[in-house]
Amino acid sequence: MLVTGVVGCRSNGSNSAAPTPTWPYEAGERPRFTMLYLPYAQNGAPLAMPSPTAYGWTDERMERDLSRLLNAGLDGLILGLQPTTFADPLQTERVLRFLDLVEGRGTTAFEVTLLLVPTSPASAAIDAEAVGRWLATHDLQRRTCLRQQDGRVMLVCPPGMALSGPPHPALYTVRIGMAGAAWAWGDPGDPARSKPTGADRQVLVYAGWRGRTAPVDAKGRPQWDIERQGGRALEAEVRNAFNAKAGLICISSWNNYVTGDFIEPNSLDGDAVLRRLTALIRQARETAAATPAPPGGGSTLTPLPPAS
């Protein structure tokens, strides 16, 4: 597949998007965009609510989310699975239904990557054999939308989650945080997350961040590590990934309302972040498609207008 700047930990409203005067990729090339998508709410107090309000992972919600994600121009999504999914018939049925709907859209280039999502701060171990049996039992290796490696379904395992026991032939595991890992998934304050990782040249970007404890300042006001700024914070993160020539830009997230990095239209800032991301992806596609590249550099990537 296919200089770097990093958004500071205490960004504020005066920060503007990192400039990208020229397209840093070869003519015709661009990064792929994917986004973390959580079927179920995370533990903690939400900072906003989705618009319209959604309860449960219903067919209606799945269809609406897929339409929004596809209309934004994303190349795929990262489906967060809780450890309980593999032994829960209802959660399993919902995963299978969602994959049916993805494949029913007929967008063969839209790729779903599976990622384990911890349900508590404590480390957890999951039986790799059980996960592999779950994949094989439900014939997930035949799913054209699932990302695979050598005929095995790819499962991303973040820090705090461990797969124990012997490997299973249906399962290909990517362990984040280990030396030589194919992906990185650091918190916003991790300076290493701006560097492309592995063969994918994967980079993680955030739409905003208040942390997992939702801190407040001395006066009790919300305190953001990365202020959302109507999508300008996300634009700066994405442009930094462009400058680093990322091959796969992983966006956190569609709907994590606890940590503050949600992009789904919501009660806090409406669809401002989604609209800005959509414009940025469209601009990247159009710029990459512009040929030939002008002499002495790549195609010009013009700034987006200020967020409204």
Distance, CA of 227 to CA of 103 (rounded, Å): 36
Residue 236, domain member (yes or no):
yes
pLDDT at 69: 97
Element at 248 (helix H, strand E): strand 248-252
CB 281 within 8 A of CB 74: yes
Residue 50, domain member (yes or no):
yes
CB 207 within 8 A of CB 251: yes
Residue 13, domain member (yes or no):
no
Residue 251, domain member (yes or no):
yes
pTM to 2 decimal places: 0.87
Q: What is the CATH number of the domain that holds 167?
A: 3.20.20.80
Residue 173, domain member (yes or no):
yes
Exposure of 44 in the CB half-sphere (CA atoms within 13 A): 18
**Domain range for residue 77?**
32-289
11 — pLDDT class (breaks 50, 70, 90): very low
Residue 19, domain member (yes or no):
no
Q: How many domains, in total, are found in the chain?
A: 1
pLDDT at 160: 79
CB 118 within 8 A of CB 124: yes
Distance, CA of 249 to CA of 243 (rounded, Å): 12
Distance, CA of 283 to CA of 266 (rounded, Å): 24
Of 86-90, 156-160, 219-223, which range is least confident? 219-223
18 — pLDDT class (breaks 50, 70, 90): very low
Residue 162 has pLDDT above 90, yes or no: no
CB 188 within 8 A of CB 206: yes
pLDDT at 1: 30
Q: C-alpha angle 117/121/126, rounded to 5°?
A: 50
Residue 14, domain member (yes or no):
no
pLDDT at 123: 65
Distance, CA of 211 to CA of 49 (rounded, Å): 17
pLDDT at 45: 84
Residue 18, domain member (yes or no):
no
